[in-house]
Structures are given as structure tokens and as C-alpha cells.
Amino acid sequence: MKKIITLGAGLLMASSSLIAADGIKSSVELGLVLTSGNTKTKTSNIKGKLEHTKDKFRNTVSAEALYVDGEQGKLSEKYLGAGKTAYQYGEHSYGFVNGNIERDLFSGYDYQASFSAGYGYRVIDSKEITLDFEAGPGYRQNKLDNEDAEGEMIGRVGGLFSYRFNKTATFTEELASEFGSEATISKSVTALTAQIVGNLAMKASLTAKHNSNVPDEVESLDTETALTLVYTF
């Protein structure tokens, strides 16, 4: 738990120091997560996100940590980090570079990391609705527990849909799939965010991750249902 608190304090400090920076927006989430699949536990969850927009560039960096109080009192932890840079070179077209790494003690992997680059297109761009599609090649490296790391070339496709009901409520759906010769890994994040007061909002989300090739005694589908408070700087 100390690691989670330390991370949260660090995210808050970093966000506060960047409030005045040009084109930067940051947010911190805190909440309770209920999991199913490989785990059936209650966890505390913290997320941090920084978004920077300048000229034709859009940059995003995010981090997430979960503290898990598992069965028989065992302590488990999960960490995720991601970064993305997109360059707008047309009215609706953009190029992107994307990377992420995940360490999940329930997955049978010591870590999973991927890097990709490609082309994106904004199909719908209005005040209420945006819809992006993107695709490109990449590379993925996985390390199973007590084994050497293995890598493979992959193809990545993804999409992001956002619908703003009104000034205070927004629905988002983010989907990405990585296709390789060894496995196909897909992740979906569905969320509804509603403003409570000022910069404080409540967010309900459902995250589902499917891995077509998992170690023995590990389920291929993991889900997380979360209800969090979000503070945006």
C-alpha cells in the first residue's frame, strides 16, 4: 500500500507543477476495483494521466497501479505505463507512435511490452462526437515467469469513440488489438464520466483484456469494473 500512496503523491505533485504549462492537462483517479477472471478480489486503484497539445502534436503519458488484497491475505500488485505521440499532418489524418508496458502478477507473465507506429484517421469530428481509427506495425516482447524474454513482430489496430451527452457527461470506448504469430491480445475500455462539481468528476468503467495464448491455469479473459473519482487540473 505504501507504494500506491507514494505513486499517488508523485502524480499529484507532477500534475500540480504542470498546471501552468502551455497546452498541458492532467488528471488523477482514485477508486475501488472489482475484478473477475484470474482474480476475484477487491483492489484500490490509482491512475495518472498527462496530455500535452502543441501545434500539430498531441502527446499522452499515463500510469496505473493496483494494490490487491487477494485470497488468503496475499498481497498482489499490477502496474501499467503507456505513452503516445500523434502528429496531425492533415485535416483528419495523423501519424502516431505508441508504447506500453504491463506487469501483472496474475497473468503468468513477468511483463508484457509493445511498441507500434502507424496511421490514424478521425472519421467523425464534432463538438459532441469524435471517432478515430488507427493501424500500423509494431513489436511485442513478453517474458513468462522464470523464462527468457521472447519477441515478435505484430500488427496493431485501434479505435477511440467519444460522445459528449452534455457539458457534464461523456461516454468513451477505446479498443485496441495486437496481432502476432504467437498470440492476439485485445483490450477494451468502456467508460462513463460525469462531472460532480468544478474539476471533480465520477467515472464508471469496464476494462476487458483477452489474450489468445496464456500459460496453463490462467484464464484468457480478465475484466475490471471500477468506480473512481477523477480530479482534472
> CA 76, 78, 84: angle at the middle one, nearest 5?
175
Dist CA 183 CA 103 (whole Å):
17
Q: Which three cell numbers stand for residue 129?
A: 462526437
> Structurally, how many domains does the chain consist of?
1
Q: Helix or strand or coil: residue 14?
A: helix
Report yes or no: 43 and 66 within 8 Å, Cβ to Cβ: yes
Q: Which three cell numbers stand for residue 217?
A: 491455469
Dist CA 120 CA 164 (whole Å):
21
Q: Give, for all 233 residues of the chain, the pLDDT tens digit.
A: 444 444 444 444 444 444 445 678 889 999 876 667 776 667 788 999 999 998 899 999 999 988 777 666 655 678 999 999 999 999 999 999 999 999 987 788 899 999 999 999 999 999 999 999 999 999 999 998 888 899 999 999 999 999 999 999 999 999 999 999 999 999 999 999 999 999 999 999 999 999 998 888 888 998 888 889 999 98
Q: What is the CATH number of the domain that holds 46?
A: 2.40.160.40
Report yes or no: 58 and 51 within 8 Å, Cβ to Cβ: yes
Query: For the purposes of burial, counting CB atoms within 10 Å of the CB of 36, is it exposed (0-12), middle (13-18) or buried (19 or more)?
Result: middle
Residue type, 192: L
pTM: predicted TM-score of the whole model, two decimal places: 0.85
Dist CA 87 CA 151 (whole Å):
27
Q: Which three cell numbers stand for residue 75?
A: 498481497
Q: Which three cell numbers stand for residue 207?
A: 476494462
Q: Helix or strand or coil: residue 11?
A: helix
- Structural domain that includes position 93: 2-232
Kindly report the backbone phi and psi dihedral angles of residue 12, in degrees, each rounded to the nearest multiple of 5, phi listed first. Answer: -65, -40
